[in-house]
Amino acid sequence: MAEVDFEEHGPAAAARAAGAKRRTRRLINLVGALLSVALLVWAGVWGYKSAMRSVMGVPLIKAATGPMRIAPENPGGEQAAHQGLSVSDVAAFGVATPLPEEIVLAPRAEGLIEEDGPGLAPEPPAALVARPEPEGPPQPLMPVAEAAPPAAVAPVAPGTEADTATDAPALAGPAVEGAAPPGTAELLAEELAGAEPVPPIPVPEPVAEPAFVPAPVVPGGIGASLRPLPRPGGMAVLPVASAPVEVREVDPATLKPGTRLVQFGAFDSPDQAKEHWGKLSATFGELMVGKAQVIQSAESGGRTFYRLRAEGFTDEADARRFCAAVTAVGPECIPVAVR
């Protein structure tokens, strides 16, 4: 009988288990410490090398051994279809190459093989078959009467067999191929003889046109209405030349301070200012009536220019209304006052 160990789960076993755990924990701590120290040493070495590299500059690159480039085995590469021809040498080198000892013509172009032919071959033309000739002696063709003009059909009296026989082929239509059966003319004559006479078509009598009655003449008026004159092909409104407006010039030195004026612009010379005044007078004929021309010289930045102004306004509102009418058309206009 086996002996039972009562100390398996006793205090000694617990002490052994605790000692094993401590040894395992100590080993893990030792490995972690070694890894930490190695990481710190590597970081220090890497930082030192980086600092030295920055101080000493970029390191030299070692030259590779052997040739830098190797020529291909076939420098010309694959030859295209247009290369190697004498014609190409004229454009490439400017002179023709010497003639070779042997000249070979280009091969003949290959045609289509049987598989590449059309899918549907054209059918052969049908054979011509001769028409069988009719048996017996040929029959004479019946004469065809000329077509009569459309008119009233007269009744056919019985007994006129000669005329009926002559007109029968014309009524029957054009001749057909082959001979007509015998007795056709006699049958048509009998049918026409027993037919009822066709009454003549009545022709309407012409309607008489109404007589022209002239209009009554009014005493003291016009006997006939007059025809209006033809309208001209092109009508255009011609500009009416306005009457020349007398230009009244005013010396700027005679104007009192506070006089209301309007300014049209500044020009390089008095002649340009006067020319612009003439254009304004032609454009605004009624507005320029009663306005005097004022050309005032001024200097700015060592440059002399001439201001074109107009005088003849009662107050500032009158000058503003004038400028509003002028600027609505296009030219510039600014109300000003003499200082």
pTM: 0.31
Give the rounded percent of residues in the chain with a pLDDT score beyond 90. Answer: 8
> Rounded distance, CA 164 to CA 174, Å?
17
Residue 171 or 223, more confident: 223
Q: How confident is the model at residue 140 (pLDDT cuts 50, 70, 90)?
A: low
CATH 3.30.70 fits 266-337, yes or no: yes
Of 24-38, 183-197, 318-332, the poorest mean pLDDT is in: 183-197
**Domains in the chain: boundaries:** 266-337
DSSP string, 245-288: PPP-B--GGGPPTT-EEEEEEEESSHHHHHHHHHHHHHHSTTTT
Question: For the chain, what is the mean pLDDT?
Answer: 73
Task: Report the pLDDT value the prediction gives residue 133, as an integer from 0 to 100.
Answer: 63
Evaluate whether 161 touches 187 at the Cβ level (below 8 Å): no
Q: How confident is the model at residue 13 (pLDDT cuts 50, 70, 90)?
A: confident
Residue 272 or 88, more confident: 272
